[in-house]
Amino acid sequence: MLPPLTKANFQAWRDHRDWIARKQAMWDRGEKLPSQLPSSLMRCPCGATFDSHRPAESQIYTPHIYAAQRRDGIRR
């Protein structure tokens, strides 16, 4: 006997099953999920977003970060 499930319940189960299959296939190919990839994007205390792997571009945000560290006593 099945519990009183709706079509939406079955669809949610199928969606979850399919996602697990896609994720496992990626891992089998040696790929990582986007959430597992390292990111070099950082946010400056002034609100700007920059790529920390590009020193020439990120150098202008260094004074902002150091000032916020001194002000807050928090190491970022």
- Tokens 């399919």, residue? 18
Domain count for the chain: 1
**What is the identity of the amino acid at 22?**
R
**pLDDT-above-90 percentage for the chain:** 36
Q: List the domain range (segments joined by +) for residue 57.
A: 38-72
Whether residue 1 lies inside any domain: the answer is no
Question: Is position 68 within any domain?
Answer: yes
In a domain, 51, yes or no: yes
Does residue 3 form part of some domain?
no
> Six-digit token pair at 17?
């099953």
Residue 27 is assigned to a structural domain of this protein: no
The answer, as to whether pTM is greater than 0.85, is no
Asked if the structure places residue 64 within a domain, the reply is: yes
Beta-carbon contacts of residue 54 (< 8 Å; ≥ 6 apart): 40
Which residue carries 């002034």 as its tokens? 46
Domain assignment present for residue 30? The answer is no
Q: What is the pLDDT of residue 43?
A: 87
Question: For residue range 6-23, what is the model confidence (pLDDT) as tens digits?
Answer: 999 999 999 999 999 999
Percent of the chain with pLDDT over 70: 96
